[in-house]
Amino acid sequence: MARRQSPRSTGADTLPEPDDFAENITDIDVAEEMETSFLEYAYSVIYSRALPDARDGLKPVQRRILYMMSEMGLRPDRGHVKSARVVGEVMGKLHPHGDAAIYDAMVRLAQDFALRLPLIDGHGNFGSLDDGPAAARYTEARMAAASLALTDSLDEDVVDFVPNYDNQLTQPEVLPAAFPNLLVNGTTGIAVGMATNMVPHNLTEVVAAAQLVIANPEATLEEVMELVPGPDLPSGGRIVGLDGIRDAYRTGRGSFKTRAKVTVEQVSARRTGLVVTELPYMVGPEKVIEKIKDAVGSKKLAGISDVTDLTDRKHGLRLVIEVKNGFNPQAVLAQLYRYTPLEDSFGINNVTLVDGQPQTLGLLGLLRVYVDHRLSVVRRRTAFRLGKRKDRLHLVEGLLVAIMDIDEVIQIIRTSDEASAARERLMSIYDLTEVQANYILDLRLRQLTKYSRVELEKEQDELRREIAELEAILGSDTLLRQVVSDELGEVAAKYGTPRRTVLLEKEDDTPKGSAAALPAPKGKAAPLALEIADEPCWAILSASGLIARTAHAEPLAESGPRVRHDVFRSVVRTTARGELGAVTSTGRMLRLQAVDLPLLEPSSGLPNMAGGVAAKEFMTLAKDESLVALVPLDTVIALGTAQGVVKRVTPEYPLNREDWDGIALKDGDKVIGAAPAADEDTLVFVTAQGQLLRYLASSVRPQGRAAGGMAGVKLAAGDSAVFFGVVAAPDAGDGSGEGGGGSAVVVTIAGSGSALPGTSPGTAKVTPFDEYPAKGRATGGVRSHRFLKGEDRLVLAWVGRGPAKASSSAGVARSLPSEHGRRDGSGVPLTQSVDAVGPSFA
Q: Average pLDDT of 328-341?
A: 91
DSSP 8-state assignment for residue 524: S
Q: Left (φ > 0), alpha (ψ -120 to 50) or beta: where does 349 sit?
A: beta
- pLDDT at 443 (0 to 100): 83
Q: Which is more confident, 74 or 618?
A: 74
**What's the distance, CA 482 to chain centroid?**
37
Q: What angle do CA 201, 207, 213 make, to 5 degrees?
A: 115
Query: CA-CA distance, 72 to 84, in Å (whole number)?
Result: 13
C-alpha–C-alpha distance, residues 304 and 309, integer Å = 14
Please name the residues in contact with 133: beta carbons below 8 A apart, sequence gap of 6 or more: 103, 107, 125, 126, 127, 139
Each domain of the chain, given as residue ranges in start order, spans: 45-177, 261-341+501-530, 391-487, 536-838
Window from 23-27, 301-305, 730-734 with minimum mean pLDDT? 730-734
Lowest mean pLDDT among 347-361, 598-612, 620-634, 776-790: 598-612
Residue 838: pLDDT band with limits 50, 70, 90: very low
Contact between 687 and 721 under an 8 Å Cβ cutoff? The reply is yes
Helix (H, G, I), strand (E, B) or coil at 285: helix
Cα 508 to Cα 59: distance, rounded to the nearest angstrom: 39
CATH class of the region 391-487: mainly alpha
Nearest Cα neighbor of 463 from 526, 397, 409, 367 is: 397
The pLDDT of residue 755:
72
Q: Tens of pLDDT along 588-597? A: 999 988 888 8
Specify burial of residue 28 (Cβ count, 10 A radius: 0-12, 13-18, 19+). exposed
Higher pLDDT, 566 or 343: 343
Separation CA 460–CA 801 (nearest Å): 98
Q: Which whole number is the average pLDDT over 57-71?
A: 95
Per-residue pLDDT at 742: 60
Burial of 535 (0-12, 13-18, 19+ CB in 10 A): exposed
Of 517, 639, 45, 65, the closest CA to residue 265 belongs to: 517
- Express each pLDDT in 674-720 by its tens digit: 999 999 999 999 999 999 999 999 999 999 888 889 999 999 998 99
Does the structure show a pLDDT above 60 at 653? Answer: yes
* pLDDT the model gives residue 751: 86
**Which residues have CB under 8 Å from 91's CB, separation 6+?**
97, 98, 99, 102
* CB-based burial label for 43 (10 Å; 0-12, 13-18, 19+): middle
pLDDT of residue 622: 87
Quickly state the pLDDT bin for 459 (edges 50, 70, 90).
very high
Asked whether 703 and 647 are in contact (CB, 8 A), the reply is: yes
Q: For domain 261-341+501-530, which CATH number applies: 3.90.1170.50, 3.30.420.10, 3.30.1360.40, 3.30.365.10?
A: 3.30.1360.40
Mean pLDDT is highest, among 476-490, 537-551, 742-756, for: 476-490
801 or 158: whose pLDDT is higher?
Answer: 158
* Average pLDDT over every residue of 392-419: 88
For residues 112 and 369, give the distance between their C-alpha atoms in angstroms, rounded to a whole number.
Answer: 26
Give the residue from 158, 116, 153, 108 showing the smallest Cα distance to 132: 108
Give CA–CA dist 550/556, Å, rounded: 10
**Average pLDDT for residues 407-436, to the nearest whole number?**
89
Instruction: Determine the Cα–Cα distance for residues 80 and 147; give it in Å rounded to an integer.
Output: 15
**DSSP codes, 339-378:** HSTTEEEEEEE-EEEETTEEEE--HHHHHHHHHHHHHHHH
- In sequence order, which residues have a C-beta less than 8 Å from that of residue 770 and are 6 or more positions away? 743, 744
Kind plus residue range of the DSSP H or E element containing 31: helix 30-45
How confident is the model at residue 455, as a pLDDT? 87
CB atoms within 10 A of CB 441: 15
Question: Which of 67, 138, 339, 439 is labelled catalytic?
Answer: 138
* Mean of pLDDT values over 291-312: 91
pLDDT digit string (tens) for 709-725? 999 999 999 899 999 99
Q: Is the model's pLDDT at 289 over the cut of 70?
A: yes
Is the pLDDT at 760 greater than 80? The verdict is no
* Active site (annotated) includes residue 370: no
Q: Rounded mean pLDDT of the chain?
A: 85
Assess contact for 360 and 253: CB atoms under 8 A.
Answer: yes
Answer positive or negative: Cα dihedral of 267, 272, 273, 275: positive
Q: Write the DSSP assignment of 705-751 as a string of letters.
A: TT---EE-S---TT--EEEEEEE--TT---SSSSSSSS-EEEEEEEE
* Distance, CA of 695 to CA of 682 (rounded, Å): 6
Instruction: State pLDDT tens for residues 188-203.
Output: 988 777 889 999 999 9
Percent of the chain with pLDDT over 90: 55
Cα dihedral 723→724→728→734 (10° resolution): -80
d(CA 8, CA 12): 12
> Do 359 and 52 touch, CB atoms closer than 8 A?
no
Right CATH for 45-177 from 2.60.120.580, 3.30.530.50, 3.90.199.10, 1.10.287.1080: 3.90.199.10
Residue 257 CB burial class (10 angstroms; 0-12, 13-18, ≥19): middle
pLDDT at position 525 over 50: no
Q: Is the pLDDT of residue 516 over 70?
A: no
Q: How confident is the model at residue 570 (pLDDT cuts 50, 70, 90)?
A: confident
Range from 7-21, 42-56, 139-153 that averages highest in pLDDT: 139-153
What pLDDT, on a 0 to 100 scale, did the predictor assign at position 840? Answer: 34
**Pure H helices in 405-523:** 406-415, 419-430, 434-442, 453-475, 477-495
Using a 10 angstrom Cβ sphere, with 0-12 exposed, 13-18 middle and 19 or more buried, the burial of residue 428 is exposed
Q: How far apart are CA 543 and CA 609, in angstroms?
A: 10
Which CATH superfamily groups domain 536-838? DNA gyrase/topoisomerase IV, subunit A, C-terminal (2.120.10.90)
From the list 483, 470, 283, 297, the residue with the least C-alpha distance to 392 is 470
pLDDT in tens, 138-152: 999 999 999 999 999
Compare 18 and 688 and report the one with higher pLDDT.
688
pLDDT for 113 equals 93
Strand 187-190 to strand 588-593: parallel, antiparallel, or no bridges (unpaired)?
A: unpaired
For 138, other C-beta atoms within 10 Å of its C-beta total 12
What lies within 8 Å, CB to CB, of 796 at 6+ separation is: 722, 747, 748, 749, 834, 837
Is residue 815 over pLDDT 60?
no
The strand order across the sheet containing 187-190 reads: 187-190, 195-198, 343-349, 253-259, 238-240, 502-504
b/e 344-371 (16+ beta carbons within 10 angstroms → b)? bebebbbbbbeeeebbebbbbbbbbbbb
703: which strand partners? 649
